[in-house]
Amino acid sequence: MSAFYRFALLSRVCNFKTETGLIHVGSMAVNPGRLSLTCRRCLSGSAVDGPARVKRVSIEGNIAVGKSTFARLLQSACPDWEVMAEPVSKWQNIESGTKKGKDDAPQTTVSNLLQMMYQDPKRWSYTFQTYSCMSRLRTQLQPPPARLLSSEGTPVQVYERSVYSDRYIFALNMFELDCINPTEWTVYQDWHSLLVEQFGHQVELEGIIYLRAPPEKCMERLVHRGRSEEEGVKLDYLEKLHVQHEKWLVEKSTELHFEKLKQIPVLQLDASVEFQSDPDVREQFITKVTNFFSAL
Ligand SMILES: Nc1ncnc2c1ncn2[C@@H]1O[C@H](COP(=O)(O)OP(=O)(O)OP(=O)(O)O)[C@@H](O)[C@H]1O
Ligand SMILES: Nc1nc(=O)c2ncn([C@H]3C[C@H](O)[C@@H](CO)O3)c2[nH]1
């Protein structure tokens, strides 16, 4: 595809305006902070139909595949898109403050549940999944910002992972690895189903973006990122998570328990390509995402 055609295509769906007023798609993420993006009608508009319903989409993918990086790209590309980050820092800093010291002064302990889970998965996986799922639920229940509610385009709330990957990727994987025992797995599934059914439409998604890359590439990025809790993560673990993603989102062989989830459209993107230094690749990604959102 020629550069001109790409430019024309992207300009049709989403006009990016620089500070100078020039439409300048190619430099979009080179320096996103400098951009003022205007694409109120970048998605099939509902301006004439009254307030738009906010669509909800999750970004799924293996550890270190690039979800946060991709999410930042989306956030800078269109004001109608609101990205909700995975609450990792909450899992790393759990404050418990009930114990009293000798002098009766209240004491606060901070624990890192992410680290505890990686260091002793048999002991902590169930606890981790209860907390990760609860924090994802809280994120998915947050109302959209006013900016999205008053949008004349098609506003989209984008979540980094979801209550569904919590169950069908991670908790399932931990069960299969024997880090969650059969009783814990039954209990987890029971409350997970109850919560998702009770919250109904509030936690439903309209679409999923699957960032796909070979586990070896994710391992490379994980090592490069150097998050201390992940020091002991082996390629074998990423391979298992890759298989879980493939079964759920590509082969569709994972047993699902929610009707809407069985029909959900999935946009698959090749995340093994380097887009941070390549504006053409970024443009292609944004175009695909824009078209995907407009079709939901
Ligand atoms: N397309 C890319 N090309 C090259 N490097 C990338 C790309 N995307 C992300 N990275 C790098 O890979 C590392 C992991 O990226 P990131 O933190 O976005 O992953 P993630 O999927 O959000 O991770 P997690 O599963 O832990 O939430 C970072 O160092 C990031 O700079
Ligand atoms: N066991 C387990 N269950 C989850 O639901 C889950 N979600 C994320 N993670 C790990 C992956 C990254 O190291 C880090 C940030 O994504 O947290 C999880 N680990």
Q: What is the pLDDT of residues 164-199, one digit of tens each?
A: 999 999 999 999 999 999 999 999 999 999 999 999
- Residue 222 annotated as binding site: yes
Residue to mutate (ligand 2; options 90, 113, 114; most atoms within 8 A of CB): 114
Rounded-to-integer distance, Cα 78 and Cα 40, Å? 8
Q: DSSP letter string over 230-263?
A: GTT--HHHHHHHHHHHIIIIIS--S----HHHHT
- Residue 65 annotated as binding site: yes
Rounded-to-integer distance, Cα 14 and Cα 286, Å? 9
- Hey, where are the domains in the chain? 55-265
At the second CATH level, the architecture of 55-265 is: 3-Layer(aba) Sandwich (3.40)
Question: Is-catalytic flag, 274?
Answer: no
Percentage of residues of the chain with pLDDT beyond 70: 80
- Reply yes or no on whether the pLDDT at 10 is more than 50: no
> Which tokens is 8 given?
């024309």
> How many angstroms does the Cα of residue 133 sit away from the middle of ligand 2?
10
Rounded-to-integer distance, Cα 62 and Cα 186, Å? 25
**Residue 86, ligand 2, Cβ within 6 A:** yes
> Which tokens is 36 given?
């003022």
Full-model pTM: 0.85
Percentage of residues of the chain with pLDDT beyond 90: 75
Q: Let me know: does 215 contact 235? Beta carbons within 8 Å.
A: yes
Place of tokens 């889970």: 117
- Residue 273: the pLDDT is 94
> How many angstroms does the Cα of residue 174 sit away from the middle of ligand 1?
23
Query: E strands within 42-105?
Result: 55-61, 81-84, 94-96
Confirm whether the ipTM is greater than 0.85: yes
Rounded-to-integer distance, Cα 235 and Cα 233, Å? 7
- Reply yes or no on whether the pLDDT at 48 is more than 50: no
